[in-house]
Amino acid sequence: MLRCTLLVCGRGVVRLLASSFCSESSALPPNLLLPTNLVDPSRSKRPPPPADCPLPLLRSCDAVVPAHLSAVQTWVETLEARGSEPLGWAQLHPDVFAVAPRLDILHEVETWQKNFKRISHANTKIRSEVRGGGRKPWNQKGSGRARHGSIRSPIWKGGGVSNGPRGPTSYFYMLPMKLRVQGLKVALSSKLAQDDLHIVDSVNISSPDPQDLLHLIREKLWGESVLIVDVGEEFPENILQATASLKTVNIIPAIGLNVHSMLKHEAVVLTLESVRFLEEKLLWHDQRYTPLYPYKLPYSDLP
Amino acid sequence: MSFPKKPASKALGILQNLPRISLANLRPEPGAKKAETRRGRGQHGGNRSGRGHKGERQRGTRPRLGFVGGQTPFYLAIPKYGYNEGHSRRPQYQPLSLRRLQYLIDLGRVDPTHPVDLTQLVNARGVTVQPLKRDYGVQLVDEGADIFSAKINIEVQRASEGAVAAIERNGGVITTSYYDPISLGILIKPVPFFLRGQPIPKRMLPGEDMVRYYTDAESRGYLADPEKIQQARLALALKYGYTLPDISKDELYHMLSMRKDVRQIFFGLAPGWVVSMPEKKILKPTDEKLLKYYRS
């Protein structure tokens, strides 16, 4: 029931409801803000490319697809032209883009990303570090007051903290390499399954204006925030200028792809080269040997 | 026969109709995160905080482990005997069964057309040797001798008689040789050693407790007399009841007869040479004293 109500309420349904009331004045306020992760039925869920698609196949899988699986097929679009017609279709490897949606792995990798960099600098002084408190305040016996040994003991006001945070503490830990790799694969598969992954031929756009890029994204109904992923050290000037001032549209190199960024942005846009790069890197871990020494050192038999 | 369904297709299909996965939707698997016990808090953790009632238990003044109230404790009453004396200094050999060796050869992880060395076995991830834990190498165990059918030139540190028989029955060659701990560490991980930039050391000879094993023809030691080894091969063939195949007529005879020099660690590299990996060069010493030392 909740899902039905969620499906009914949607950003685009504002238009639906407004159109149904077009004879009378719309009962919905014009500045209605709905949460952005509600499923929008008006968003055109383009069906996946059929077997007899007239558009060309722009990319097939480089790695061998196992016999019991079949490649995932998606549309390839373009950022240059304003129309929302796809250029062609591409095949993606199922062991990267159609793995089981392990939400618990996503949660683990996301908490790791958040916490492994954390160093908490909270520090309190214990009774020996608080200034003063070396002398016994009054005699043990005879004064009528409670017996005390130092004015900085934890039961005193102004005294040291007995069990407080002690100095910079590191929360560093590393998850196994294969778990982090699986997290990336699960994130890519989930984005693809929920129609939030878009393949683009290249990252060249026609103008460096940020508003143009926003119009393009709104036309294609990609979502509120977009993460653009490309391979290489140099990016075209236009896209860099366009995304520099935008908060919700960001561009990263393919080596910087991570689960947190993918979940934070509603849509993820990959170029064909970045798809090739990611497939190569992520599939390697399925068939590698365990390391005898760090992988950075030269190996003769591993590729 | 049922057709294999694509794994995860059902879950991904369900996901298409669910709200978008975002940072606000993530949660751990129910039951994965167990809350830690906090002593001294609440109705169950508080009061005596799990310490019991009065006495040394609650007050934390229990005596040391093994104390039995004053009576001579068990660990002092029993007299000593050297069962475990020097146990941490005894050489250990990681077992390698013939079954595992056959498995590695069948999968193509170990190449039988080249001499099989400890480096090859470790590169194939067939065995894990830890020289720092008093491992002196690998020992061949004869489990799987009945399925073993590969002709290889193998060099291990210890071998059981059945394993030797199984290898020679298939026309292979087995040698047992000694590696001192430093040479062993270099042998199993050659690349980190080469990156150190040190010259390859010469392999040390076995100590007096091991010399007897490695000069024995029965155990195919590398210091033994080749004629005695041939006689031992014939004797073993008679004992186990198989005909010893003649390797000299084999096409791989050259490969099967490749053996390392007594002081050599790697095939093709002599002691004293420096391997420079970034420049991809081998540097050999030219000084007479060094050559004399490394050749001794």
Residues B277, B196: contact at Cβ < 8 Å? no
- Judge if ipTM > 0.95: no
DSSP per-residue letters across A82-121: SS----EEEEE-HHHHSS---HHHHHHHHHHHHHTT-EE-
Question: pLDDT of B45-79, one tens digit each?
Answer: 999 999 999 999 999 999 999 999 999 999 999 99
Please name the residues in contact with A214: beta carbons below 8 A apart, sequence gap of 6 or more. A246, A249
Residues of A in CB contact (< 8 Å) with B are: 3, 6, 37-39, 68-70, 94, 98-101, 103-104, 106-108, 110, 189-190, 193-196, 260, 263-264, 266, 289-290, 292-293, 297-301
Question: At residue A7, does pLDDT exceed 50?
Answer: no
Give the CA distances from residue A170 to residues A111, A125, A126, in Å, rounded to whole numbers and listed in that order.
Answer: 15, 19, 20
* pLDDT computed for residue A24 by the predictor: 47
8 Å CB contact of A293 and B191 = yes
Q: What is the mean pLDDT of residues B124-147?
A: 95
Q: What is the mean pLDDT of residues B206-215?
A: 96
Q: Render the burial of B130-142: b for 16+ CB within 10 Å, e for the rest.
A: ebeeebbbbbbbb
Among all chains, which residue has been given the structure tokens 């193998």?
Answer: B154
Q: How far apart are CA B142 and CA A48, in angstroms?
A: 57
3-class secondary-structure state, position B281: strand
Question: pLDDT of B228-266, one tens digit each?
Answer: 999 999 999 999 999 999 988 888 999 999 999 999 999
Q: Which one-letter amino acid corresponds to residue A300?
A: S
Among all residues of chain A, which has the CA nearest to that of B12? A193
DSSP per-residue letters across B90-133: S-EEEEEEHHHHHHHHHHTSS-TTS-B-HHHHHHTTS----GGG
Q: Which two tokens stand for residue B221?
A: 């030691």
Q: How far apart are CA B96 and CA B156, in angstroms?
A: 9
Q: What is the mean pLDDT of residues A111-128?
A: 97
The C-alpha of B17 sits at a distance from chain A's nearest C-alpha, in angstroms, of: 8
Q: How far apart are CA B140 and CA B147, in angstroms?
A: 15
Q: How far apart are CA B126 and CA A290, in angstroms?
A: 11
Nearest to A225 by CA among A198, A199, A251, A249: A249
Question: pLDDT of B137-179, one tens digit each?
Answer: 999 999 999 999 999 999 999 999 999 999 999 999 999 999 9
Where does chain A show beta strands of DSSP type E? Answer: 57-59, 72-77, 88-92, 119-120, 169-170, 197-200, 226-230, 249-253, 267-271
* pLDDT computed for residue B3 by the predictor: 61
Question: pLDDT of A9-31, one tens digit each?
Answer: 444 445 544 444 444 455 778 88
8 Å CB contact of A37 and B23 = no
Q: Which two tokens stand for residue B163?
A: 């394993």
* pLDDT computed for residue B15 by the predictor: 93
Nearest to B204 by CA among B179, B168, B171: B179
* pLDDT computed for residue B194 by the predictor: 96
Among all chains, which residue has been given the structure tokens 């430093």?
Answer: B182
* pLDDT computed for residue A82 by the predictor: 85
* pLDDT computed for residue B4 by the predictor: 61
Burial of B176 (0-12, 13-18, 19+ CB in 10 A): buried
The C-alpha of B75 sits at a distance from chain A's nearest C-alpha, in angstroms, of: 39
**Within a 13 Å sphere around the CA of B86, how many CA atoms are in the beta-carbon half?**
5
Express as a percent the part of chain B with pLDDT over 90: 93
Q: What is the mean pLDDT of chain A?
A: 89
B6 touches chain A (CB under 8 A): yes
> For chain B, what is the radius of gyration of the CA atoms?
30
8 Å CB contact of A103 and B24 = no
Question: At residue B111, does pLDDT exceed 80?
Answer: yes
DSSP per-residue letters across A152-167: TSTTSTT---SS---S
Task: Give the helix/strand (H/E) hosting B176.
Answer: strand B173-176
Task: Give the helix/strand (H/E) hosting B175.
Answer: strand B173-176
Contacts of B277 in chain A (CB under 8 A): 298
Question: At residue A8, does pLDDT exceed 50?
Answer: no
8 Å CB contact of B17 and A39 = yes
Of A189, A263, A297, which has the smallest distance from its Cβ to B195's Cβ?
A: A297
Question: pLDDT of A61-89, one tens digit each?
Answer: 999 999 999 999 999 999 998 887 899 99
Q: What is the mean pLDDT of residues B221-230?
A: 96
